[in-house]
Amino acid sequence: MGANRKVLILPGDGIGPEVMRQVRRAMDWGMRKRGLGFDVSEGLVGGIAYDTTGSPFPEATQEAALASDAVLFGAVGGPKWDNLDFALKPERGLLGLRKGLELFANLRPAICFPALAGASTLKTELVSGLDIMIVRELTGGIYFGEPRGIETLPDGSRRGVNTEVYTTAEIRRVAAVAFELARKRGKRVHSVEKANVMESGVLWREEVQKLRDERFTDIELHHMYADNAAMQLVRQPKQFDVIVTTNLFGDILSDVAAMLTGSLGMLPSASLGAPDPSGFRRGLYEPVHGSAPDIAGKDLANPLASLLSYAMMLRYSFDQGAEAELIEKAIERVLAGGMRTADIMQPGMARVSTRVMGDAVLRELEKLA
Ligand code: NAD
C-alpha cells in the first residue's frame, strides 16, 4: 500500500466506542498479519467532545480530519445533549466533518447476507443475496438550495420555500462515482429523478446520459422516476446494481433499501470526496445507526455495521478490495455459524455480546487468511 496511510478514528458517543473497539482490533490484526500500513489516531467528536472541550467538533479534531486519508466514525448524540443549542449539538460534529472534507457522494450498500434473509420483512427469495449500492448526492439539492425559508404573506398566512437546484458539475461528479462503482460490480446504473415534473430532474437525466455516452459506454444506464424506483425496490430489488440519485430521493430510497436487509446494526456507509490527481479519494466511513443510548455500555451492540464500514474504507479509499472481501467473508461465516447479537437474534441461534462477536470475526479472519 506504499507509505503508511493516516486513519483517524472518532468513536463518539453511546455505542460508538464499543463498536469502534472491535474495528480497532480488526485493523490491528490487518497490520500484524496482512501487512496493512496505517497510522491510526483517535479523536473527540460529538457529545463527549462537547463535555471535554465545549465544542462538538473541536479544532484539534478538524485539523486531524483534514490531515487524514480516511476517517472511521462511530456515532454521536444522546439524551444528555438533546437540549443544547443547535450549534453545539453533537450532530454538528458530523455535518462539520462532511463539509470540511467536501464529501459529496454518500454510498449506502444494501447487502442481505443469506443467513439473515429470514429477518427481512420481504420474502426470503426476494432479498437473499441482495447486493445494491445506492449513491446519494450529499451536498446539494433541496436541503441546501436557495431561496429557502418561511415568510409571512400580506394576508397573514405563511409560505415555506425550499429550492431543488443542481449544476452540471454537481451532477457529473456524483454520476462518475456511480459509473466507476458499477464498473467494478454489475456494470448497471439506474439514475433516479423526477424528470416528468421537475426541470432539475430533466437536467439530471441529460447530464447523467451525456457522461455515460462520453466516458462509460461499457455501463448499462437506465433512467427511472423516483416514485417508480421506490416501488421497484420493494417489488423486485435484485433488478438493481447501482442507483444514483439526488440528496432528497437518496435520503428516502436508501432507508427503503436498508429495511430490505433486516437490522440497522448491519448497515455500513461511506461518504467520498473528489479524487486527487493520483485518483485517491478521501472518505468518511460510518455505520448507518446512531448512538443507541438504550443499549450503550452494555456490551449488546452489533459491531458488524462498523466492521463493514471499515471494509468499505479498505476498498474505496485504499484500493484493498481483497482485504475488504476477507472482512466480509469472515462476517458471512460468523453469521452462517449461528452467532447473533440481540438486534438480529433468530430462533435457534446463539445470542452473543459485542465483544464475543468481535472475537468470532477475528477467529474467522485467522482461518481465512
Ligand atoms: P439509533 O440508530 O441510535 O437506534 C435506533 C434503535 O436501533 C435503538 O433501539 C437501538 O438500540 C438500535 N440499534 C442501533 N444500532 C444498533 C446496533 N449497532 N446494535 C444493536 N442495536 C442497535 O437511533 P435513535 O435512537 O433514533 O438515535 C439515538 C441517538 O443517536 C440520537 O441522539 C440521534 O440523534 C443519534 N443519531 C446519530 C447518528 C450518527 O451519529 N450518524 C445517526 C442517527 C442517530
Quick check: 118 pLDDT over 90? no
pLDDT for res 2: 54
Strand partners, 57: none
Residue 303, preceding peptide bond in cis (omega within 30° of 0): no
* Last residue of one domain, picked from the residues 264, 288, 313: 264
Identify whether residues 256 and 351 lie together within a single domain: no
Last residue of a domain, one of 264, 295, 314: 264
For a pLDDT cut of 90, what percent of the chain falls above it? 85
Q: What is the pLDDT of residues 42-64, one digit of tens each?
A: 999 999 999 999 999 999 999 99
Q: How confident is the model at residue 129 (pLDDT cuts 50, 70, 90)?
A: confident
Strand-strand pairing, 70-75 and 105-111:
unpaired
* Domain boundary, last residue among 264, 281, 313: 264
Residue 70: alpha-carbon gap to chain centroid = 13
Is the same domain home to 119 and 82?
no
20 & 56 share domain: yes
Is residue 87 domain-shared with residue 117, that is, in the same domain?
no
Residue 148, domain extent: 112-264
Ligand 1 neighbourhood includes 140 CB (under 6 angstroms) = no
Distances (CA, A) of 185 to 3, 218, 347: 28, 12, 34
How far from the centroid of its chain's Cα atoms is residue 263's Cα? 14
Span from the CA of 286 to the centroid of ligand 1 (angstroms)? 12
- 123 with 229, same domain: the answer is yes
Average pLDDT, the chain: 94
d(CA 253, CA 134): 8
Alpha-carbon distance 259 to 234, whole Å? 9
Q: Which of 47-51, 256-260, 288-292 has the lowest mean pLDDT?
A: 256-260
- Residue nearest to ligand 1 atom 12, measured at CA: 292
Active-site annotation holds for 166 = no
CA–CA separation, 212 and 189 (whole Å): 10
Assess contact for 361 and 331: CB atoms under 8 A: yes
Contacts of 313 (CB under 8 A, 6+ apart): 7, 70, 72, 270, 283, 285
- Distance CA(354)–CA(342), nearest Å, equals 9
Does residue 265's CB lie within 6 angstroms of at least one atom of ligand 1? Answer: yes
326 membership: H or E segment, kind and range: helix 321-336
Question: What are the two backbone dihedrals, phi and then psi, of residue 261, each rounded to the nearest 5 degrees?
Answer: -100, -5
Smallest CA-to-CA distance from 148 within 134, 164, 136 is with 164
- The protein residue with its alpha carbon nearest to ligand 1, atom 34, reads 77
User: Is residue 35 left, alpha or beta, with left meaning phi > 0 and alpha meaning psi from -120 to 50?
Assistant: left
pLDDT tens for each residue of 186-226:
999 999 999 999 999 999 999 999 999 999 999 999 999 99
| Active-site residue, selected from the candidate residues 251, 299, 319, 359 | 251
Beta strands in 112-247 (DSSP E): 131-137, 149-152, 158-161, 188-193, 220-225, 242-245
For residue 92, name the pLDDT band (cuts at 50, 70, 90): confident
Question: Is the domain of 53 the same as that of 81?
Answer: yes
Q: Are residues 172 and 249 in the same domain?
A: yes
1 pLDDT higher than 60 = no
- Shared domain for 326 and 290, answered yes or no, is yes
Q: What CATH number is associated with residue 198?
A: 3.40.718.10
pLDDT for 86 equals 80
Ligand 1 close to Cβ of residue 266 (< 6 A): no
Same structural domain, 10 and 61: yes
pLDDT value at 3 more than 80:
no
* pLDDT tens-place string over residues 66-77: 999 999 999 999
Ligand 1 site, residue 106, Cβ cutoff 6 A: no
Model pTM score: 0.93
Mean pLDDT of 296-319: 96
Task: Name the residue of 264, 284, 353 to mutate for ligand 1: max ligand atoms within 8 A of Cβ.
Answer: 264
Could you report the per-residue pLDDT of 308-336, keeping only the tens digit for each?
999 999 999 999 999 999 999 999 999 99
| Atom number in ligand 1 closest to CA 306 | 18
Question: What cell does 90 get?
Answer: 453533537
Q: Rounded to the nearest 10 degrees, what angle do helices 354-368 and 16-33 cross at?
A: 20
Q: What is the mean pLDDT of residues 156-167?
A: 97
Exposed (0-12), middle (13-18) or buried (19+): which is 121, by Cβ within 10 Å?
Answer: exposed
pLDDT at 276 over 90: no
Question: Are 293 and 158 in the same domain?
Answer: no
75 close to ligand 1 (CB < 6 Angstrom): yes
Residue 96 has what pLDDT?
80
pLDDT at 100 over 90: no
Question: Is there a single domain that holds both residue 237 and residue 351?
Answer: no
Instruction: Say yes or no to pLDDT of 91 above 90.
Output: no
Q: How many domains does the chain contain in total? A: 2
Give me the mean pLDDT over the 110-117 stretch: 90
Secondary structure of 291-311 as H, E, C letters:
CCCCCCCCCCCCCHHHHHHHH
Higher pLDDT pick, 278 / 309: 309
